[in-house]
Structure 1
């Protein structure tokens, strides 16, 4: 019986590692359309949105952003020709230190190496619009190679996380 458990554990571990490697490969091949990467847009919007909210006086407990790039290709096929510039739809959700819900949503048309995003973004705290912006961040700043993972107060900043779920068949 002990040998079977070891084998099952080993196979499960191998399956988890294989799935993790596949996810890492997919993230590395994140489609970039006209310079837009969904991961870069999400991380930069999180970073610049958090700093803007904090500059406006909101103590951000956490903020997490996702982005989906629309590459502007008609019909969605690989051989289709571009019909409009690329945009990314951004959806951020979070919470203030006082428990108020934060949302930051909109379209991004340009992301500059972790320093700024351009587009049309609307932030709400507790359901009330607190800012509308066409630019978040400093587009003239030197590119950041890696977005900071810490806020000035030393608290960790949320980062992009990839979750892998593997279901292992019992007894296999």
Structure 2
């Protein structure tokens, strides 16, 4: 199962309240097919996109757009009688572009996604060929959980969710 999350930022900064509302709605959609006790590729893609964008901006990267995709690698699993369980791993690929045209990549694996607040694993971000960061945790895992609405998944299916968010804002000066 795979999922894609696209985040396009226009030249002017997006209104923070509107961006937060859209992010909460996107997260609500992604939790609909959340497996019990495991990773959800859509939630991993959305959360990685959001926290990688914030981390890149913190490193003064002027982002034009960023799109993240996550694919679950459900390798061999322990039997219930074995008393142990293996973790799901999501392979994450993010591609984007800076406002001056340089390519952005974020690559790695995620072993845990915490309710839209953070991802844990091994992720490396590059702008052109320069490594901007390598992280085992992206985001704030202790932040308050975003408000979400649960949606019942389609009967008998495990849908793949694709979310594209485009936010535009006009100048509101005097």
Among 124, 128, 144, which residue is 1:142 paired with? 144
Output one character per residue of 1:78-129: Cα deviation in whole Å (capped at 9) or x when no partner.
x9x9862111110000001111100001010110111100000000001211
Residue 72 of structure 1, CA deviation = 3.4
Output one character per residue of 1:36-74: Cα deviation in whole Å (capped at 9) or x when no partner.
100000000000000000010001110000001123335
Higher helix share: 1
Among 38, 59, 64, which residue is 1:61 paired with? 64
Residue of structure 2 in register with 1:125 after alignment: 127
Q: CA RMSD in A?
A: 2.7
Distance 1:109 1:137 in 2: 14
Residue of structure 1 in register with 2:40 after alignment: 37
Q: TM-score, normalised by structure 1?
A: 0.62
Which of 1 and 2 has higher RCO (CA within 8 Å, sep 6+)?
2
Distance 1:46 1:110 in 2: 14
Distance 1:52 1:97 in 2: 16
More displaced stretch, 88-97 vs 32-41: 32-41
Q: TM-score, normalised by structure 2?
A: 0.61
**Is 1:70 matched with 2:73?**
yes
Q: Which structure has the greater CA radius of gyration? A: 1
Moved over 2 A (4+): 27-35, 71-74, 81-84
Specify every segment of 5 or more residues in structure 2 that has no aligned partner in the other structure, as ranges: 1-29, 149-161, 165-174
Contact kept in structure 1, 2:31 and 2:43, CA below 8 Å: no
